[in-house]
Amino acid sequence: MTRWISGATALALAVALVAVIPRFGFTKPEAALWTDRPVTGGISAPAASPWVELARALKPAVVNISTKRVDAGNQFFDQFFGGRPRRMVRSLGSGFVINSAGFIVTNNHVVDGATEIKVTLADGRELPGRLLGRDPKTDIALLKVEATGLPVIPLGDSARLQVGEPVMAIGNPFGLEQTVTTGIVSATGRVIGEGPYDDFIQTDASINPGNSGGPLINAQGQAVGINAAIFSRSGGSVGIGFAIPTNLAKPVLTQLAAAGHVVRGYLGVTIQRVTADLAKSFGLPGAHGALVASVAEGGPAKAAGLRPGDVIVEYDGRRLERSDELPRLVAETPLGREVPLTVARDGKTLTLRATIAKLAEPQEQRTAQTAGRPALGLAVQTVTPQLAQELGLPVRAGVLVSGVEDGSPAAGAGVQPGDVITELDRKPVKSVDDLERELARVRSGAPVLFFVHRNGGDLYIAVES
């Protein structure tokens, strides 16, 4: 499954600003999740051929990912008001192994909402895939299969890519496994409207539906991108494909492996690009930096003294050439760290200091999973104070059941949409992450004991897992 971009988006691509790879400031783990060692015998850039040896060496590390998901609309409201019949949807995508212990990278949109993930290795083995974590903002997901000694593809330095450099894509377009295409890097730093950290590699290597999650490989046999999207009016390749740079993916994968989610820094400003005309208006020597359009109340920027109209020209000692650089730098800053901001204000330069806070992520409704199988058939979301107020819930913490899959263990046990799970096996559950963490510890086949709040009362429900 590869996303494509409609013709209406073409104008936006032409005028979009250049995004910068967000690195989140995490040190390399002691046990490396991936390797950056080039494949022996790799060809030297800028030679475009032969690719035969690299294809032979790397194809075994590329996998086919098939998923099942329930297309059910808004299950919570359908329960009470009626809605369209639920149906099972199947989709295909690609991925590649980055660690011989069974760690596989793919796109978030390949596995988003999946109730079942199946990974087919190059040797024909079909294994259940366990979702370790996903990051919608960068469209990256990390899977795990129970296998060892798998062939891997090393992750290279995407910042070293040059326009015109030869690259190779491997994937499963239209379900045709182990397909290899070659081309060049057409551009870098493309913004295509897919999220706040857009910084895509554009390539003319043929990418089609089913290529999503597969590797874009340089001439040294390293993955420098994760194939993610195409520009097409027909849904097929027209020579404009996009890949997520591996330098963006590395810190995300580290966090997904460690915690299952990504934490980013927060400054609390809305910014805009400094044009040549604006630079003259603000008395700046050149069109660089980030113009502060607004400052969030209660945020780090407000506490530091930033004002609308300030131009941030340096962040933590790093000169800002473009406004796009600031979100990436803030995102990678460790939480709680105080950073200096060099600001141009009223023709003068001053230094302010801001303490970076945690970027609050909106709560997502998702299907709880464990061990690559549906976690009892529940669609759930964390109960926040705002959600509790909106729905009139008497509890302020727990997990709201927003949907129950027909025929699932949860449905058979009597779990209903609108239930709020506050305990699992006598342990408090305050978020979806808590629920998934506790479910992961449950032995397959063992019963799960929920403590549920329903219609003003409390009850225990035993669900066979």
Residues forming the active site: 109, 139, 212
How far apart CA 432 and CA 217 sit, in angstroms, is 36
Nearest to 244 by CA among 307, 176, 301, 161: 161
How far apart CA 289 and CA 364 sit, in angstroms, is 33
**Helix (H) and strand (E) counts for the chain?**
11, 29
Contact between residue 131 and residue 143 where contact means Cβ atoms under 8 Å apart: yes
How far apart CA 103 and CA 143 sit, in angstroms, is 6
Residues 6+ apart with CB under 8 A from 121: 63, 127, 145, 147, 150
Contact between residue 415 and residue 465 where contact means Cβ atoms under 8 Å apart: no
Residue 66 buriedness (CB in 10 A; 0-12 / 13-18 / 19+):
buried
Contact between residue 223 and residue 97 where contact means Cβ atoms under 8 Å apart: no
Angle at 147 between CA 143 and CA 150, to 5 degrees: 90
Measured in whole angstroms, the distance separating CA 24 from the mean position of its chain's CA atoms is 13
What are the structure tokens assigned to 79, written together?
């329960």
Place of tokens 């032409």: 14
Please provide the DSSP assignment of 363-430 as one string.
Answer: P--EEEEETTEEEEEEEEEE--HHHHHHHT-S-SSSEEEEEE-TTSHHHHHT--TT-EEEEETTEE--
Residue 120 buriedness (CB in 10 A; 0-12 / 13-18 / 19+):
middle
Nearest to 176 by CA among 309, 25, 62, 336: 62
Place of tokens 């554009």: 202
Judged by DSSP in three states, 228 sits in strand
How far apart CA 95 and CA 181 sit, in angstroms, is 16
Q: Which residue type does 414 have?
A: G
